[in-house]
Amino acid sequence: MLTTAALLVVLPDRSAGPGTRAPAGGVPWRERLAQLARYRDFGFVWAGRFLLLTGYYIFFNFQLYTLTDHLGVTVAVATSVVALNSTLSAVLKLVVPRWPAGCPTGSAGAGCWWAARRRCSRCRCC
């Protein structure tokens, strides 16, 4: 964050130049949804990532509620479990590399499995 803040101060803001303005309103939503249907692989990756991140955020936002109200854990114990879970999650995000480096998805998860099933030549991990 400090490096980014320093670069914001040091680097000049380059203008796109005259006559290079984006069209007003951007791309309509119907066109964006049509692109998801047209490019199926991208649609699958987008939907999978959306659902994965939605589940991740639901889990982290409601874990204290789930521990205390549904599992009957005391608030003191539930708070320590939430703190430990958050700490472990942050450490793992920093320590575990995005393996393998050649995979287009950046992880060895379902994206690499899908690329291997499709015999993707860009994925060196498959």
- Decide if 86 is inside a domain: yes
- Residue 82 has a pLDDT of 92
- Residue 126 has a pLDDT of 46
- Decide if 73 is inside a domain: yes
Q: Which two tokens stand for residue 1?
A: 């964050």
- Decide if 29 is inside a domain: no
Q: Average pLDDT across each block of 10 residues of the chain; the chain has 126 residues. List them in order.
A: 79 67 69 82 88 90 90 92 90 68 50 53 51
Q: Do residues 114 and 41 make contact, with C-beta atoms less than 8 angstroms apart?
A: yes
Alpha helices in 13-74 (DSSP H): 29-38, 40-65
- Residue 29 has a pLDDT of 80
Helices (H) and strands (E) in the chain, counts: 5, 0
The model scores a pTM over 0.75: no
Q: 3-state SS of 78-115?
A: HHHHHHHHHHHHHHHHHHCCCCCCCCCCCCCCHHHHHH
- Decide if 103 is inside a domain: yes
- Decide if 8 is inside a domain: no
Domain with 81 in it: 36-117
